[in-house]
Amino acid sequence: MAPTSRPTVFITGAAAGIGRATALQFARRGYVVGAYDIEEEGLGSLREEILAQGGRARTGILDVTDTDEWSVRLAEFASGGSRLDVLVNNAGVLSSGHFEDIPLEAHRRMVDINVLGTINGLHAAFPYLKETPGAHVVNLASASAIYGQPELATYSATKFAVRGLTEALELEWRGHDIRVLDVWPLFVRTGMIRGMSIGSTRSLGVRLTAEDVAEAIVDATQSRRRFPKVHYPVGVQARVLAASARMSPGWLARLSNKVLSRV
C-alpha cells in the first residue's frame, strides 16, 4: 500500500458481523481499511462496498493462529511506510452448551483463536504501532468477562484472558504512546450466535447489532478524555451488569449470574 497521510486500521475477522460493520464505520470516517479473515468471498464484497463509498481498502486471507501470516499481512498493509493507527483484534469463535457436551476440539479452537490469535496479533503489530504516534489497540472481549458464564465456560474464560491482556498492556505500552482498550458487548445479532439457546439468551435476549458494537469501537478510539477508559461495556445491559459487578459483594454477583443463567 502506498504511503498515506490518512489514518489506517487493521481489522481481523472482517468478512462478516462485527468485523465487517467496524470496517465500514472506519471507512466512513476516512480511514484506510485493512480487512482480513479466512472467508475470501465476504472480504471481496466488503472491499467492493468500501470502494463504492469512495473509501480505500486492502483485504487478505489471515488465519490469526498463524504467526507467519500475521507478519506477511501486516507487512503488505504497511508497505511503503510503517503506519498503523488502529489494530482491531476482532476474530473469534464461540461454542455454547454444557461444558462436558462440547467436543474438546471446540474448546481448543476457542482458545487458539480467541486468545492465541489475539496474542499473535499484538506481538506482530507492536513494531508498527510504536512507530505511529497515538496508536490504538481494540481487543474484542465480552460481557462474559465480567463473571464466568455457565454454558459459555471456555468462551468466557478466553474473554477473561483478553481482558487481562488488555489491562496489562494498557499499562505496559503507555510508554510507547499506544492506547490499549477492550469492548464488552453482551449477545450480538450475528452469525456467531445463530441457533444458540442458553439460559442467558433466554433471560436477556439479543438486543445488540453488529453496528452497535462497531460504533462503540470507533468512538472509543476517538476519545480525547484526559483519563480514558480501558473497558467499554456496550449497550445498557452490559453497562448495568458491569456496574453491578463492581459494586456488589462476590456472593451477590454470583447469585445474580446464577439467576440470569437459569442454572
Our answer to whether residue 155 is catalytic in this structure is: yes
How crowded is the C-beta side of 262, counted as CA atoms within 13 Å?
A: 10
Q: What is the mean pLDDT of the segment spanning 67-91? A: 94
DSSP secondary structure letters along 39-99: -HHHHHHHHHHHHHTT-EEEEEE--TT-HHHHHHHHHHHTTTS----EEEE-------S-G
Please say if the pLDDT value at position 52 is more than 70.
yes
Is the backbone of residue 140 left (phi > 0), alpha (psi -120 to 50) or beta? Answer: beta
Please say if the pLDDT value at position 2 is more than 60.
no
- Please determine, looking at this structure, whether the domain spanning 8-261 carries the CATH number 3.40.50.1100: no
Q: What is the mean pLDDT of the segment spanning 115-121? A: 98
Residues 211 and 196: their CA atoms lie apart, in Å, by: 20
Grid cell digits, residue 55: 473509501
Q: What is the DSSP letter of 208?
A: B
Please say if the pLDDT value at position 1 is more than 70.
no
Res 3: pLDDT: 54
Please say if the pLDDT value at position 4 is more than 70.
no
**Contacting residues for 183 by C-beta, under 8 A, at least 6 apart:** 138, 139, 140, 141, 213, 216, 217, 220, 231, 232, 233, 234
3-state SS assignment for residue 241: helix
pTM, to two decimals? 0.93
Residues 77 and 119: their CA atoms lie apart, in Å, by: 19
Residue boundaries of the structural domains of the chain? 8-261
Question: Which one of the listed residues 128, 147, 155, 232 is annotated catalytic?
Answer: 155
Closest CA to 85 of 32, 139, 21: 32
For residue 260, name the pLDDT band (cuts at 50, 70, 90): confident
Percent of the chain with pLDDT over 70: 98
Q: What is the mean pLDDT of the segment spanning 20-47? A: 97
pLDDT tens track for 129-162: 999 999 999 999 999 999 999 999 999 999 999 9
Beta strand 32-37 with 56-61 is parallel
Q: Are 33 and 12 contacting, i.e. CB atoms less than 8 angstroms apart?
A: no
